[in-house]
Every structure is written in structure tokens, then in C-alpha cells.
Amino acid sequence: MHVLVLGAGQLARMMSLAGAPLNIELTAYDVDSGNIVHPLTQAILGNGLDNAIAQADVITAEFEHIPHHILDVCQRSGKLLPSSEAIKAGGDRRIEKALLDNAGVRNAKYAVITTREDFLAAIDRVGLPLVLKSALGGYDGKGQWRLKDSSNIDAIWLEMAQCIASNDNQAIVAEEFVPFGREVSLVGARGKDGTIAVYPLAENVHTDGVLSLSTAIADPELQAQAQQMFTAVAHNLDYVGVLALEFFDVDGQLLVNEIAPRVHNSGHWTQQGAETCQFENHLRAVCGLPLGSTQLVRETTMINILGEDTLSPALLAMNGCHIHWYGKEKRAGRKMGHINVCGDYSGELQRRLCAVAEELDQHAFPAIHHFAANFKS
């Protein structure tokens, strides 16, 4: 099997690593350069997109912000999974919100803004405080504003107006501020035959809008809610592949924040913590193979490595500590890799998290020290 991935970042890299034992070979389309590259070495393989489409058995994507004309060409080939409709929904908050409403899935109250009048009407209708997000192109908390009170309306409107003017199809989605207790996400796969297999929920810690930590949790009540919403969204889209839903947990009631039509950062823990990792299950789904078990095999926490390209070698000597580098050039705040820390039971995971935290710089890893010290085992 030959799979062409739209996007050539770390997700394509990890899919490639997971595909090798199944003889699934990957090439990646670098959307920025237009090159077809090897997902591990980034070596240019030298054929154009049309050629690559012709040679692929299946086409998939590692991110949702892909120009629509590229998605359309891939869709027409009949090889794209998930469908361009699903990928477009993940890349446009207006389509995403409409999809959640259609699927009958709880989400934050919202309004779409393209003019100053819309902005004022949204403040009236949705209420303050507001979270304002660009409809297109947002990731890792970028393209967002917070409006706490009316004194900031003019300043924020200036910035939002600039954002809207930057692209013909741009708009802002204004959402009610959700006073959540925590954030969780559900990663799961849907096969070509409609079979669904979801992983245990992950509890996520964000720092300045960027994911720092994800930990697999066991909470049957929340898991059932999340799975019901996952199923509704996946069936609505006739989805094939791995899909992630991000939720706000408000006193035990889940609200969907957003969906990601792809393998997801909050599912990286599955590489060590689940019977079959999310990358392999995505490939199994899009290649029409049976899905692998999503069962938890070890308590696991994933720690994102942001803007750092070296870590203490002592980490490699620790039991249950697994480092995954992405082979990227160092840049401030850039996702460079992640660490999966595992234990056979939660007390062991806590002990190991504390030991790992000792080896990590407080400034580069602001969330882990507090998390490890307060981890409930």
C-alpha cells in the first residue's frame, strides 16, 4: 500500500514510522514548497502532485489548513480519506460549528462576524466575556482574542478587521467564554465499514493556548458522553480515519470545543500507552484494514517539547520514559518532539513524572513540575 499524506510535518513522520511494519509506505506533499518529500528524511522525491496522486493507493492529510483547490483535486481522484468535506470542516470554524449543530452535539454559543455591526450584535447576543477566533487558519491558540469588557471593543475590532481583510473568505467566530474545570479530548478511528474504535479520554493541560501535557484517564461517565458525540460527528461526516474531538468539561458536562480531522497531539500518548497507536489506526482505517485495539496498556502522560532540541541524556536511562524527536530545526515555541512517560499503575506513573520533571528545565516545561507534584494517583 502506498499512502500520500498532504502535509510533511511530524504527524506524517509518525504515520510513516507506524506504517512500516504493515508494509504501508508513505510519501508526503509539502504544501508550502509544493514538493513531494520523504516523511522521515524530508528528501525531495521529485515528482509533482499529479504524479504523486496517480501513484498513491490512498491520500490522507496531516492537517486541515490545506488550500481547497488541492483538496478538490485529491477528492476527484477518489482516493482521499477522510473526505475533503471533513477536512474543510476542521479548517473553517464556521463549517465546524454548523456541523456540530447538525449532529446535535453540544458546543459553545457563537456568532459569525464580518463587520463591526456583527461584532456589536455578537456581544449583545452571546454576551461577555467573548472568545474571538479567526474562522480560517487558527492553530495553537493563534488568531484569537479575548474580550473581557466593553472598554476593549475598539482596539480588538482594529485587529480583527485587519485579519478579516487579509483573506476574501475570512471571518471571526465569537464564542461565549466557557468556564470549564478542565479540558479533555477523545481520539478515535472510524473504518470504511463504519466500525468505530475510540481511545480512553485524555486530560489536556494548555499553556498560553498551546498543549503542554496529555494524560489518558479512566472516567466511564465522561467517556460515554464523549463517545456518543464522537459517533454523531463521525457518522454525520461518513468519516474514515482518525478523528479528534476537544472538549470542555463543565461540572461533568462535556461541550465540544473543536474537531480535528486527523491524528492529534493529544493522542501521541497512544504510542506507548495503547495496544495500537493512533498513527497505525489512522493508516489501517484509510487503507480499509481492520482497526487495531485501542485499549490502554499502561498509564501514560505525554509531555510536549516546545522550542528545545536537547534534553538530559539521563531521561533515556529512566524506565518508562520515551523520547520522540521530530527532526525539526529549533525555533522558539516550536513543537520539536514529545516525551511519553508510562507506569504500570498510576502511583508508578506519578513517581516517574516527578523524576522526569527533575530533569526538565522549569522555563521550557512550565506545566510539568506542578502537574507531577499534584498528580492524583
Contact residues for ligand ATP, defined by CB under 6 A: 108, 131, 133, 138-142, 175, 177-178, 183, 206, 209, 211, 246, 257-258
Query: DSSP alpha helices (H): ranges in the chain?
Result: 10-19, 49-55, 68-76, 84-91, 93-102, 116-126, 153-165, 220-236, 270-273, 278-286, 346-358, 366-374
Q: How far is the CB of 266 from ligand ATP (least distance, A)?
A: 8
Q: Which is nearer to ligand ATP, 142 or 330 (CB)?
A: 142
Grid coordinates representing 238 are 461518513
- One-letter amino acid at 98 equals A
Q: Which is nearer to Mg ion, 141 or 307 (CB)?
A: 141
Q: How far is the CB of 180 from ligand ATP (least distance, A)?
A: 6
Which of the residues 333 through 372 are near Mg ion (CB under 5 A)?
none
- Tell whether 133 is in a known binding site: yes
Q: Which is nearer to ligand ATP, 249 or 299 (CB)?
A: 249
Q: How far is the CB of 257 from Mg ion (least distance, A)?
A: 6
Q: How far apart are CA 245 and CA 201, in angstroms?
A: 10
Query: DSSP alpha helices (H): ranges in 131-194?
Result: 153-165
Q: Which is nearer to Mg ion, 246 or 299 (CB)?
A: 246
Q: How far apart are CA 66 and CA 46, in angstroms?
A: 20
Q: Is 175 exposed, middle or buried (0-12, 13-18, 19+ CB in 10 A)?
A: buried
- Tell whether 144 is in a known binding site: yes
Q: Is 146 exposed, middle or buried (0-12, 13-18, 19+ CB in 10 A)?
A: exposed
Q: How far is the CB of 181 from ligand ATP (least distance, A)?
A: 11
- Tell whether 141 is in a known binding site: yes
138 binds, among ligand ATP, Mg ion, none (CB under 5 to 8 A by kind): ligand ATP
Q: How far is the CB of 131 from ligand ATP (least distance, A)?
A: 4
Q: Which is nearer to ligand ATP, 177 or 375 (CB)?
A: 177
140 binds, among Mg ion, ligand ATP, none (CB under 5 to 8 A by kind): ligand ATP
Q: How far is the CB of 178 from ligand ATP (least distance, A)?
A: 4
Q: Which is nearer to ligand ATP, 11 or 49 (CB)?
A: 11
SS3 193: coil
Site for Mg ion (CB under 5 A): how many residues?
1
Grid coordinates representing 294 are 485501542
Q: How far apart are CA 162 and CA 127, in angstroms?
A: 23
139 binds, among Mg ion, ligand ATP, none (CB under 5 to 8 A by kind): ligand ATP
Sign of CA dihedral 280, 285, 287, 291: positive
Q: How far is the CB of 143 from ligand ATP (least distance, A)?
A: 7
- Tell whether 78 is in a known binding site: no
206 binds, among ligand ATP, Mg ion, none (CB under 5 to 8 A by kind): ligand ATP
- Tell whether 338 is in a known binding site: no
Contacts of 117 (CB under 8 A, 6+ apart): none
42: left (phi over 0), alpha (psi -120 to 50) or beta: left
SS3 341: strand
209 binds, among Mg ion, ligand ATP, none (CB under 5 to 8 A by kind): ligand ATP
Which of the residues 236 through 275 are near Mg ion (CB under 5 A)?
246
Cα 100 from chain centroid (whole Å)? 17
Q: Are 25 and 1 in contact (CB under 8 A)?
A: yes
The Cα diameter of the chain in Å comes to 59
- Tell whether 284 is in a known binding site: no
Q: How far is the CB of 56 from ligand ATP (least distance, A)?
A: 27
131 binds, among ligand ATP, Mg ion, none (CB under 5 to 8 A by kind): ligand ATP
Known binding site: residues? 93, 133, 138-144, 175-178, 183, 206, 257-258
Annotated binding site for ATP: 93, 133, 138-144, 175-178, 183, 206, 257-258
List contacts with Mg ion (CB under 5 A).
246
